[in-house]
Structure 1
Amino acid sequence: MLWIIVILGVITLIVGPSAWVKFTLKRYATDREDLPGTGGELATHLVKRFELNEVNIETTQEGHDHFDFGQHIVRLSPSVFNGRSLTAVAVAAHEVGHAIAHEKKQKISHLSTRYLPLAHFARRITAGLLLGWPALSLLLHIPYAVPLHALVVGLSGLLAVIVQLAILPEEWDASFNKALPILREGNYIPQEDLPKVKKILTACAMTYVAAALIKVLFVWRWFKR
């Protein structure tokens, strides 16, 4: 019975953040006529306001909002770019917050440039091992193939979570040192909506950590088959 409680607790800790992030972003995604513009319009305005001359705005796949610091592009999903909701405005401000930190070469921006390539590397290793290890172990007759496979993939997944936790201060900076003051002081949203926007910006900051945790659960389920 104790093991069941422990397992359920661990699964809740893994799934909970992702579920909360999705719930929060969806909850405040209803368009509102009282907001002065869409997420895309706000992002364009902020890029000009902060003189981010090399930064462009593009649309991307739904749910893949991010700032590409290598190409200097703020990429917003269609619902954010075209949406006139609290979620659209807050997400756009969060991504421009990343752009401000990188384009102004602020110290906090070094976290993603240092650690994100490591996260991408770990993700590629995990994906490759999940797909190719069975054939590789048969060809090379690797002893203890299954437990070794589980160990390597598990460590790769854990590394991805650790990297995202290492980058969390930069995500927090984009939300609460950049986006929130911009939205509050620029009167881009009604003051009474600030508590809601804080929840959205917290969800923005936690997005990648939540996604990394879900991948750990996916790896565990894959090995349970």
Structure 2
Amino acid sequence: MIWGLLLIALLIAVYAPSLWVQRVMKRYSHPEGRYPVSGAELARELLDGYGLNAVRVEPTASGDHYDPQERAVRLSESHYQGRSLAAITIAAHEVGHAVQHASGYQPFVWRQKLVKWAGRGQQIGVGLLFLAPVLGGLLRAPALIGLLALGGIMAMGSGIVVHLVTLPTEIDASFKRALPMLQRSGYLFADVDPPHARRLLSAAACTYVAQALASLLNFWAWLRMLRP
């Protein structure tokens, strides 16, 4: 009974932030034609206002993000073409990351380095997990299996750390970059929109935290495999 309750509590803790983010995004995706500009048009306008003419604005099927390698703001189709509060707010958030990149904002720079490091770490982790039983069997060394598997899981867990340390960068992109941009743009309805835009920007900032919590389940599953 107690283990069942703990499991339910864990699932709620892991999935509640993600469900909240999805709910907020869905709520403010309507009405779709509320503003005179689409998310893509606003992103282009904001980027040009900062002199970032070389940064592209592109539609994507892999989620809203800013790609620093390609120097591109990428928006999901609904945010790229949509004229909802969600569309223009998320577009401003991603432009906020482009501005961070252009200005050399240190937490953004550190995050990019951590992302590369975590990516390599996860690749090494997967390799170690596959090699552990093979080498352990060939060498007949159970202790070696445990050490390699533990090293692999810890390497894979680096992605969780990266997601968690991203939060200050996301908060800056939302509230020190995107919100002032939106307020200066003149597109928000000053009497009603700001509180809702803040809620959306909070959801945008929490996206990576939700991903980190969800990845804990995979991490926990691998840890359970180490148990005798």
TM-score over 0.5 for the pair: yes
Letter in 1 for 2:213: L
Relative to structure 2, which stretch is displaced further, 36-45 or 101-110?
101-110
C-alpha change, 1:4 and 1:185, in structure 2 (3 Å) is: same
Q: 1:86 to 1:137 in 2, by over 3 A?
A: farther
Q: Distance in 2 between matches of 1:142 and 1:187?
A: 68
Residue type of the partner of 1:116?
Answer: V
Q: Structure 2: how far apart are the matches of 1:136 and 1:18?
A: 39
Aligned to 1:25: 25
Segment of structure 1 superposing worse, 123-132 or 199-208? 123-132
Supply the distance in 1 between the matched residues of 2:206 and 2:91 (Cα, whole angstroms).
15
- Matched to 2:21, the amino acid is V
* Aligned counterpart, 2:101: 102
Q: Tell me how far 1:126 sits from its aligned partner.
A: 4.5
Structure 2 match to 1:72: 71
Distance 2:22 2:128 in 1: 29
Q: Which runs of 5+ in 2 are unaligned?
A: none
C-alpha change, 1:29 and 1:122, in structure 2 (3 Å) is farther
Q: 1:110 to 1:222 in 2, by over 3 A?
A: closer
| 4+ residue segments displaced more than 4 Å | 126-142, 144-150, 221-225
Partner residue in 2 for 1:202: 202
Identity of aligned residues (%): 37
Letter in 2 for 1:82: Q
When the two structures are superposed, what TM-score results if normalisation uses the length of structure 1?
0.85
TM-align CA RMSD: 2.6
Partner amino acid, structure 1, of 2:115:
L
TM-score, scaled relative to structure 2: 0.84
Q: Give the aligned partner of residue 215 of structure 1.
A: 215
Deviates more, 1:93-102 or 1:141-150: 141-150
Note if contact 2:164-2:212 (Cα within 8 Å) is conserved in structure 1: no
Aligned counterparts, 1:1-150, within 5 A: 1-62=1-62, 64-128=63-127, 138=137, 141-144=140-143, 148=147
| 2:161 aligned residue | 162
Q: d(CA) in 2 for partners of 1:203 and 1:131?
A: 37
Greater radius of gyration (CA)? 2
* Residue 8 of structure 1, CA deviation: 2.5
CA contact (8 A) 1:157 1:215 kept: no
Question: Unaligned regions of 5+ residues in structure 1, if any?
Answer: none
1:23/1:135 Cα in 2 relative to 1: closer, same or farther (>3 Å)?
farther
CA distance in 2, matches of 1:5, 1:169: 33
After superposition, the C-alpha distances for 1:33-80 in whole angstroms (9 at most, x for unaligned) are 331211111111111111113311122214x21111122111112111
Q: Which residue of 2 aligns with 1:175?
A: 174
Contact 1:47 1:53 survives alignment (8 Å): yes
Change in CA separation of 1:134 and 1:105 when aligned onto 2, cut-off 3 Å: same
Tell me the matched-pair count.
Answer: 224
